[in-house]
A and B are shown apart, each in its own frame.
Chain A
Amino acid sequence: MTKRPAQPRLLADENTSHRFVSACARLLRDFPIVHIARWQDGSWLGLDDAALLMSCAEASLVLVAFDRATLPWHAGQVLRAGESHGGLILFRRTVRSANYGEQARLLTEFWFNESRAWDWMNRIVYLPKSP
Chain B
Amino acid sequence: MAKQKLLEVKNLKQYFPAGRGEVVKAVDGVTFDIYKGETFGLVGESGCGKSTTGRTIIRLYEATDGEVLFNGVNVHGKKSKKELKELNRKMQMIFQDPYASLNPRMTVADIIAEGIDIHGLAKTKEERMQRVYELLETVGLNREHASRYPHEFSGGQRQRIGIARALAVEPEFIIADEPISALDVSIQAQVVNLLKRLQREKGLTYLFIAHDLSMVKYISDRIGVMYFGKMVELAESEELYRNPIHPYTKALLSAIPLPDPETERTRKRIMYDPAQHGYKDGEELEFREITPGHFVLCSEEEYKRYRAMYA
Q: Do A and B bind each other?
A: no
- Residues of B in contact with A (beta carbons under 8 Å apart): none
Q: Which residues of A contact B (CB under 8 A)?
A: none
